[in-house]
Structure 1
Amino acid sequence: MQRPYRAPYRCSPAAHRHQALTRAARPSEIYLKPASSYVRPGVAANFATVLESARRRGETALGYRLHDHSQEAPAYGVRLNPPKDAELVLEAHDSVILLAES
């Protein structure tokens, strides 16, 4: 009896990068780095732009932290896995949350 055909599992490019990083022998850590290193401060962009900028540096962007909302519970300005196409304006004092090699 033959087994039914199952298409190979395909994941998104971001998930593939995440899997590659978690399987790698190199340890990775989570960092908060200045948003101005990834996008122009005060200029409208989207999170896909942040992701691409981080990718070019060998990092994976996980989200961002808005300094002006850092004292507001419950998230304290942290946004993880935001929509990739939503408009985003990061200022110089905001941060990008990254997974990067130590």
Structure 2
Amino acid sequence: MMTLFALWNGGSSYGPSYLDDHLETFPSMAAAREAFADRANIGYWQPQTFTYANGRTDTTLTPSVDDRASMSLYLSDPRETSDPYPDRLVEFGPRGGVRVSHG
């Protein structure tokens, strides 16, 4: 099974994400896309689960996610490279859908 690594940012109401503290893992691209959409669409009332690469898991609300939210995806652990550049970028498209582009 392939593990994806991700750094999520909810937009202008959220601070930057850091590799050491906020690097998440996902079992698939579909799971990452679903988490991204859920954090914006239902995160203000339904707690969202964050599974971090350091083994920690948090469940929290994600209110105030805006259209500037993004998720940087890495196909391998970015902590193991000196220049961690994302392989994919997840964002909202112009009509509100979730789109994935090459980093």
Whether TM-score is above 0.5 comes out as: no
Indicate the structure whose relative CO is greater, using CA pairs within 8 Å and at least 6 residues apart.
Answer: 1
Q: Rg bigger for which structure?
A: 1
More helix per residue: 1 or 2? Answer: 1
TM (norm. structure 2) is: 0.32
